[in-house]
Chains A and B, each alone.
Chain A
Amino acid sequence: GQNIDQPTEMTATEGAIVQINCTYQTSGFNGLFWYQQHAGEAPTFLSYNVLDGLEEKGRFSSFLSRSKGYSYLLLKELQMKDSASYLCAVKDSNYQLIWGAGTKLIIKP
């Protein structure tokens, strides 16, 4: 079967750095996405990785290792507005997105 694993919840302090991990087992791989979802709102796109390595975009970075079936999202200089759920999704061999259950990130002052 296909499986995406992420921690259910994480807590971090304002101004700090947090790393949210995602491991996957899917039938084929055609890219990995990270989305942010604030409570009661729609998911919004954060990043896309298809090759191994680190993609940096401002305070957010995303890393991929295809051989390990592993990705992480790194958030730097945390702000209160970063409190949200972070969804990992993998595009499988049929180009369909398989979604993780999401990681709820709580930022404390």
Chain B
Amino acid sequence: DVKVTQSSRYLVKRTGEKVFLECVQDMDHENMFWYRQDPGLGLRLIYFSYDVKMKEKGDIPEGYSVSREKKERFSLILESASTNQTSMYLCASSPTDRESYEQYFGPGTRLTVT
């Protein structure tokens, strides 16, 4: 059974703190993604990675960075958390086949920044 796990389901942080969100997949997928999901908006891509140590900016990378040191692990970092980063964060992975690949999602981390 395919699985994407995220380090926390709920997280509360203070403004200015450094926040790490971790994602691990056990499907040997090359591609990994970080999204945020806010009410009334579609999923918005923050960063993605096609390979180890490789990263590409998505639509809203400002205020975030990522790290992919191992194929199975993709971390999202909020260098200095702000209240407008309160959101649901979803990690996803997919295989390399670019034609019809579906993305497999983790359960999400609901982050609250106070």
Residues of A within 8 A of B (CB): 4, 8, 30-31, 33, 40-45, 48, 50, 87, 89, 95-102
Contacts and interface: CB of A to CB of B under 8 A. Distances in A.
Contact of A97 (B4, B103, B108): B103
Contacts of B58: 96
A44 B98 CA distance: 18
Nearest to A31: B100
Interface string B47-91: 010000000001000000000000000000000000000000010
8 contacts: A8-B40, A31-B99, A41-B108, A43-B90, A50-B100, A95-B98, A97-B45, A99-B44
What 10 A-B pairs have minimum CB-CB distances, sorted nearest first? Answer: A99-B42, A42-B105, A99-B43, A45-B102, A101-B42, A95-B98, A43-B105, A42-B107, A100-B42, A48-B100
A97 B34 CA distance: 12
B102 A33 contact: yes
Contacts of B104: 45
A48 B102 contact: yes
B41 interface: yes
Contact of B45 (A8, A30, A96, A100): A96
A44 B40 CA distance: 19
Given A42-B108, A48-B102, A96-B48, 13 more contacts: A31-B99, A31-B100, A40-B108, A42-B105, A42-B106, A42-B107, A45-B103, A50-B99, A87-B42, A87-B43, A96-B45, A96-B58, A97-B43
Q: Which of A31, A45, A48, A97 has the most chain B CB within a 10 Å cutoff?
A: A97
A6 to B, nearest CB: 9
A41 B103 contact: no
Contact of A101 (B4, B41, B48): B41
